[in-house]
Structure 1
Amino acid sequence: MGEEGGGRSCGTTRELQKLKQQALEYYRENDVPRRLEELLNSTFYLQPADVYGHLANCFSKLAKPPTIYKVVGKNVLDGLGLPTLQVEIFCTIQNFPKSICSVVISTHFEVHENALPELVEAEEVERADAVSTAVRWVNETITEELRGIEPSNQAGVDQVLRIFFENKVQEDKERKELEKSLEDSTVPVPSPLTQPPPPPLPPDKKKGQKQGRRDTFTEKPILPPEPDEHVLCGSMAIGAVSLAVAKTGAMLDGNPLYLNIALLKHHQPPPPKTETKRGHNGGKRGQQQIIGKMSHLGCLTINYDTIEQPLLLIQGICANLGLELGRNLHLAINCAAHELMDYSKGKYEVMMGTYKNAAEMVDLYVDLINKFPSIIALIDPFRKEDSEPWDSIYDALGARCYLIAGTASKSISKLLEDGNIGVLKYSGLIIKHTNQTTMSDLVEITNLMDSKKHIAVFGSTEGESSDDSLVDLAVGLGVRFIKLGGLSRGERVTKYNRLLTIEEELVQNGTLGFTEEHTFFYLNEEAEKAAVAGELPEPLELIFPTEVLEESTRT
């Protein structure tokens, strides 16, 4: 026993001597004694606390860069009091774990007003399951997969998340196939005498229907709505963690998030020229109060007898505030055509009891733009199933206003998977950071849109939180517009305040340039030729040149 204990003691002594020798060699190689001597000489007249502070700074330069220690997922409430996901990042900094930041991601679930109780209850269950699954993914597998990765390595983090998500998709596919095979094995084979019910006959054409351009779209049956894209339960964990890591990297670098996003995009060719628009505030107060119902989106819902009435109301409000429509303020109309379609009639119900077919809708939009040229964008003027009407309205209005696909567009992951964003004829898309969308995905989709000369609009989802990161994402990605909703509730006002703060920073840095006139660029060949010929003024620009980006990373 004594010999065995003595052997262990000798072994321990040799290990300590070896460690001391390695430390001595490290100090000599890094010239630590000389550095300490210089530091002590330079701090001779300082207080002991200052000396220790300088010593700490000296040794901190020799420390390893911060790495991800753990990722924590939590179930929190969004602005509507509904469950959503919060992700917090802890990093190892100088051998100690430290909480750096947290983000809250918005869910993709829509909020339906006046919905049936059973539908509301079913969606509540689905939402709770999605959030709890995402929390489990973050706290179990994702935190293990990301431990030890530097938060500045956004591409590496997103790649890990992408592989993890692909594995989950494959597991979900295999589970559904197994369930289907079990169901098929238990379902009895129908008798040969049993015949399936005949398909419903197409609706008869109305008598006396006129032929011609106005009814070209109604000659064909109205296509049913496409099924919603499948969203994998728990997928919000991917987007939330990717955003949290991006924010962590920005904070550790001492940069605002929008600058780090711009750096991420800038370093992926081709380097785009980003654009933004200056906000206008101020004006007179004391206009007459308008009574109406405020929706959960911050929209004032009022009754009207004609389509022009709400626009005339806006004109009057702007006049009272001293704002000029078409100069100080421009309008975008969210048509939400998918909500207007009456499938029993095969027409759009633009007002209570007023129905129009696709060709009549084109005429309506053209007439509206003629009367109100301050309208610079129409969002979802038709359903995504109506490709011919999209072609028609683009030919009629493509050079006069932006035609934006929101609900009519596919998700970012589906667009990137297909590699084709031009399914419909539109000027631009509304993109949102939800579900499995990573920072790398946002950079890729905006680069693709830039290459196709499509306008990018960064939009918020209905279930928002007070996290204002999406404003930084919009600015860093260089999108043309941001869609935040009405000025109501703290979680939305917070984002407007963040937008104003960023604008002030960019003005002070000389990064943001302005023009008073709004112009359309590259909507079609005629507009592009006019821009090249110098007939149109320069657009607003948010410029991150190479030297500025590189200098920001050095400082």
Structure 2
Amino acid sequence: MYEAVELRDGDKGKYLGHGVSRAVKNINEKISEALIGLDPIHQYQIDQALLDLDKTENKADLGANAILAVSIAACKAGAAEKEVPLYKHIADISGNTGLLLPVPAFSVISGGKHAGNSLSVQGIMILPTGANTFEEAMQMGSETYHHLKAVITEKYGADACNVGEDGGFAPNISSFKDGLDLVNEAIERTGYNERIKIAMDVAATEFCIGTKYDLDIKSPNKSGQNFKSGEDMIGMYTQLCTDYPIVSIEEPFDKEDWENTKLFSSLGICQVVGDNLLASNLKRIERAIHESTCNALLLKLNQIGTVTEAIEVVKLAKDANWGIVVSQRSGETEDSFIADLAVGLATGQIKAGAPCRGERLAKYNQLLRIEEELGDQADYAGERWRLS
């Protein structure tokens, strides 16, 4: 509800109402005319022209999907005009002097709205923080993913290896611990033990009922029997971080539960990532920084709507010494822009799904190409995790 508006057609007779012909029409008939004569090298001018044309705070007139598509296209055109790689152009326009290959957060277990199992948590991820290069991180992540498939097959059968929207496996488990045990065993089989850490995308907003959290909300026969208070959830997360090598938890509480998010973050146990709490929204990020609510930003481009605004919130998060995770969406495309964005802005982290499915691999393959192109100048962010 705090994201920029993604304009859909609403015609139930076409694409179940999810069509985007209105947004396309806005590009072809309104936006294109307003941008004639502007230089794509000057990203700020183009994005400001888009904002001036829309005039709404949440981009509801033209649609954030129309605005972002043009903003990204202009950014790519600017790089082409300068004859430099996209990530270098992004670094230039942001004033960033150092390029950084991000640590990938590979989704390996899917639940929540992303899968049809009974797991309330939206995803469990692995982070190859102990890799020395991005290429090595890809190898470690892929090997662990395939070992996990074998672990799940042995315990639950081959039909338990179907995958969720972001490519993570979706066995019919219901508890956080069951999922974490599967991932831990897969990591042990690879022999990478200390070199791979675990992250969770809880997406607690999806199972928050009033001020309580229903951990069995997806189990029809159990729903309402396993309610947890905010205090209970903090205790559970604290214990999980003790029992497993968890270094990051995303959206541990409801998007309006600022108090418990702050209490948990203050413990300093792990990176606490704001997703729906922040919605990549400048005002909410400023509030979270002021109140010390969390310590990391999940950056989703279409939540904010332009490349310039994304750069601004990243700078804000960096000034607060926050972690920054450039993120996919569940309905991804094969476009790889966020890979260049993560390198150009030196965010240090990227969440692009599992090491499978074309729309996920597109980002990882682009990062491999970037690392190869940078050669000896390539810098992988894993060392920063090890030092911290």
Q: If the TM-score is normalised by the length of the shorter chain, which range does it land in?
A: 0.7 to 0.9
Distance 1:426 1:246, change over 3 A: same
The alpha-carbon deviation at position 272 of structure 1 amounts to: 7.7
Q: Structure 1 residues 498 and 258 mapped into 2: Cα distance closer, same or farther (>3 Å)?
A: same
- Residue in structure 1 matched with residue 102 of structure 2 by the alignment: 276
Does the 8 A contact of 2:265 with 2:294 survive in 1?
A: yes
Deviation at 1:480, TM superposition (A): 2.4
Aligned to 2:240: 368
The alpha-carbon deviation at position 501 of structure 1 amounts to: 1.9
Partner residue in 1 for 2:18? 127
Q: 1:516 to 1:439 in 2, by over 3 A?
A: closer
Offset, 1:514: 6.2
1:153 aligned residue (42, 62, 70): 42
Q: Does the 8 Å contact 2:101/2:380 carry over to 1?
A: no
Q: Which amino acid is the alignment partner of residue 276 of structure 1?
A: P
Give the number of the structure whose alpha-carbon radius of gyration is greater.
1
Cα distance change, pair 413–402 in 1 and its aligned pair in 2 (3 A): closer
Shift of 1:437: 2.0
Alignment of 1:242-391 (within 5 A): 242-266=71-95, 276-277=102-103, 278-279=133-134, 280-282=137-139, 287-288=150-151, 290=153, 291=158, 292=160, 293-304=162-173, 306-324=175-193, 327-343=194-210, 346-351=211-216, 352=222, 353-372=225-244, 374-391=245-262
Q: Structure 1 CA distance, aligned partners of 2:51 and 2:322?
A: 26
Q: CA offsets per residue over residues 442-477 of structure 1, 9 Å max, x none?
A: 111111111111111111112211111111111111
* Structure with the higher fraction of residues in helix conformation: 2
Q: 1:239 to 1:414 in 2, by over 3 A?
A: farther
TM-score by length of 2: 0.76
RMSD: 3.2
**Distance apart, 1:436 and its partner CA:** 5.9
Structure 1 residues 366-515: aligned runs within 5 Å: 366-372=238-244, 374-396=245-267, 398=268, 400-412=269-281, 414-415=283-284, 421-422=289-290, 425-434=293-302, 437-506=305-374, 508-512=375-379
CA distance in 2, matches of 1:298, 1:273: 28
The residue that corresponds to 2:119 in the other structure is: none
Identity among equivalent positions (%) equals 27
Paired residue for 2:118? none
- Distance in 2, Cα, partners of 1:474 & 1:437: 16
**DSSP-derived class of the 1:301 partner:** coil
**Aligned pairs (5 A) from 1:1-12:** none
> In the aligned structure 1, how far is the partner of 2:16 from the partner of 2:259?
38
The answer on whether the counterparts of 2:40 and 2:74 sit within 8 Å (CA) in structure 1 is yes
Check 1:145–1:514 CA distance in 2 against 1; reply closer, same or farther (3 A cut). Answer: closer
SS in 1 for 2:302: coil
Deviation at 1:405, TM superposition (A): 0.8
The residue number in structure 2 matching 1:136 is 25
Q: What 5-or-longer segments of structure 2 have no aligned partner? A: 104-132, 217-221
Q: Kindly tell me: are residues 516 and 274 of structure 1, through their superposed partners in 2, closer, same or farther at Cα, counting changes over 3 Å?
A: closer
Q: Deviations over 1:67-87 (max 9, x none)?
A: xxxxxxxxxxxxxxxxxxxxx
- In structure 2, how many angstroms separate the alpha carbons of the residues matched to 1:503 and 1:331? 24
CA offset at residue 387 of structure 1?
2.0
Query: C-alpha distance in 1, partners of 2:183/2:175?
Result: 14
Structure 1, unaligned stretches of length 5 or more?
1-105, 111-118, 171-228, 520-536, 540-555
1:424, distance to aligned residue in structure 2 (A):
6.0
Q: Is the 8 A contact 2:152 2:182 kept in 1?
A: no
Residue 342 of structure 1: how far off its partner (Å): 3.0
**What code does the residue aligned with 2:47 have?**
D
What amino acid is aligned across from residue 355 of structure 2 in structure 1? L
Matches within 5 A, 1:8-87: none
Match of 1:471, SS? helix
Q: How far did residue 254 of structure 1 move?
A: 2.1
Per the normalisation by structure 1, the TM-score is: 0.54
Contact 2:205 2:253 in 1 (8 A): yes
Q: Kindly state the Cα deviation for residue 362 of structure 1 after the two structures are TM-superposed.
A: 0.7
Whether the 8 Å contact between 2:7 and 2:60 is mirrored in structure 1 is no
Paired with 1:294 and 1:474, the residues of 2 have a C-alpha distance of: 26
The answer as to whether partners of 1:380 and 1:408 remain within 8 angstroms in 2 is: yes
